[in-house]
Structures are given as structure tokens and as C-alpha cells.
Homo-oligomer: A and B are copies of this chain.
Amino acid sequence: MAEIHTLMVNDVPAFVLHTVDYKPLEDMGFTVVEHDSADSLLSAGPQVEYVLTWDFEATWYQRFPRLRCVFTPAAGDDWARPDPSDRVPVSHGSYHGELMSESVLSALLFMNHRMPQMIRNHDRRGWDRVTQGKSRLLSGQSVLIVGYGHIGERCARVISPHVREVIGVRRDPSLSNGAPIPVRSMSELPELLPRSDHVVMLLPGGAATDRFMNADRLSLMKPGGFIYNFGRGNSLVEKDLIPALVHLGGAFLDVTEEEPLPQDSLFWSHEGVFVTPHSSAIFEDYRRLFIEEVCEHLGNASQPL
């Protein structure tokens, strides 16, 4: 009987799996062995065929001769690293769009109807019926998704009914043939940024996206427009954002250059900025969606039992 070994340790409680979460795998006939440390997982090496983990270092693969797949919930390869020998595939979670799309739509509606200012109205027990009168309906507006991949596609589907237009940009638009919205190349940003009311960043981390949204690109944004970062903090130059907020309507940052965002960051006090703690995918459903996806992969594989 095939064994699945797990190392689902994480600082975020919603991302920590427990025995009860693995029941669908046991129902499929797998034996689930839970580990609470890397040492424990590594010592089980020889008999392990499948691993469910947040972390897997490149050097570990040689310790798992029978390993057939590493399943990790993360969308990116920051924590579970690829096998240098290319022997063992790493399966990344692909359900983040289902979670994040609710957070992105919420942020669009939140910023558009001036909720950062209405929070301050609430704080001072006020009755400000002026500020929101400057908001136009989201239904007449345009959204640009920068970094259009499978998360962006899910967001586009969820957002589209509520706006006039959603456009995506990515390095290689040919990868999005058949997308439900127009997908352009990054080179078209100089034309797209000035006509977008909302710019939603979903770029992955890494050197290729470092400092992507800088003073030059921010200056191209529409006066009064809103910027959102739900990708990775390295892609938005924070010291360039503060001065840009003079002409922008505001910023919603779920990720920041340094996380947690330092206490002395100006974003905490800026009236047009709202910060959430890299939490757009933090839902109770996270664990269930991960296990459902693992089950689907294992069910589709040649019978493993």
C-alpha cells in the first residue's frame, strides 16, 4: 500500500493540515504518515513514494529513491524547490485563483467606493456623506491585470461581470490563446496604464519581476486610478509609490517588499492605502482545496496501489 508522507508545517494556521484533512486520501487507500519536522521526514526516506509539504530542499531528493511526486500547496517554487536531477516532479497548487479572486474583487469594490476613507470616518464616529460621492460605479470602469496567468484568469472571470473591461498583460501573450479576455504583451503597458482605472498586480517573485512597477510606470497610470498588489512585494517599488499617490486614488497592498511590513512604513498611516498581511488566499477552504487537488492527481495517475 502506497505511503504518503506529509510535512505540512506553516506559520499560518489555515495552511497547517491535520489528520482529519487527509481522510479523502485514506479513503482512496493511501497510508498517510504525518511528520512535524524535516528530520523526521528525511529519516523515512527510502519507503516514501509521495510527499505533501510546504518545504522541500533541492538536496533532499537523493534521500528519497522511491519518491514519485512532491505535492506542495504553494503556487510558486519559493519553498518546495525543483529536483536538480529532474527525476521527481513537483506539483504546485492551482486553486489559488479560486481563493484570491474573492479577495481581489473585494479589494476592487473596497477601494473604488473609498472604503479606506470610510474606515477613518468610522474611527472618528463620523457621518461623511461627501467622500463616496466622488466614486464612479465599478460597472463603468476598466481593470488591467499585470501578470496574467492562471490566477489572473480566474480573477478575470470573477471580475468581468462587474466592470466595463478587463485586460491582461503578460510576457508571452501567446500562452493565453483562448483566454476569456484580451491578453497583451508587457510592451503595451505604456498605452494600457493611462486608460485603466484599476491596475491589479499578480506578478510572481524573482529577479525577472524585481522593481517592475517603478516611478516611470506609476507615472503613466490614470489620475485617480487605483493600484493593487496581490502578487509578490518585490515587483512594486515602495519608495516610488508614496509620491505617486499624489495623483493616484489609492493602493491596496496584500504583499510588501518586506513582510511583515515594518512598523515605520508610511503605508500604515497613508490615508489612501490599505494593507493586508499577504492573506488573499487565507481561507478555511485552503486545506480542502489542496487535498481535493492531490486526490485528483493521484486518481488520474496509473493505479498506485
Taking Cβ atoms with an 8 Å cutoff, the residues of A that contact B are 11-15, 98-99, 102-103, 105-106, 109-110, 112-113, 115, 118-119, 121-123, 125-130, 132-140, 158, 161-162, 259-261, 263, 265, 268, 274-279, 282-286
- The complex is assembled from copies of this chain, and their number is 2
A13 proximity list for chain B (CB < 8 A): 130, 133
Contact of B102 with A106 in the complex, beta carbons under 8 Å = no
Bound complex: CA A126 to CA B279 (Å): 12
Contact A12:B276 (CB < 8 A) given known A102-B139, A138-B102, A283-B137: no
A121 proximity list for chain B (CB < 8 A): 276-277
Contact of B261 with A162 in the complex, beta carbons under 8 Å = no
Contact of B128 with A277 in the complex, beta carbons under 8 Å = yes
Contact of A113 with B109 in the complex, beta carbons under 8 Å = no
Contact A12:B275 (CB < 8 A) given known A110-B110, A127-B259, A138-B102: no
What is the minimal beta-carbon distance from A113 to any residue of chain B, in angstroms? 6
A105 proximity list for chain B (CB < 8 A): 105, 109, 162
Contact of A125 with B276 in the complex, beta carbons under 8 Å = no
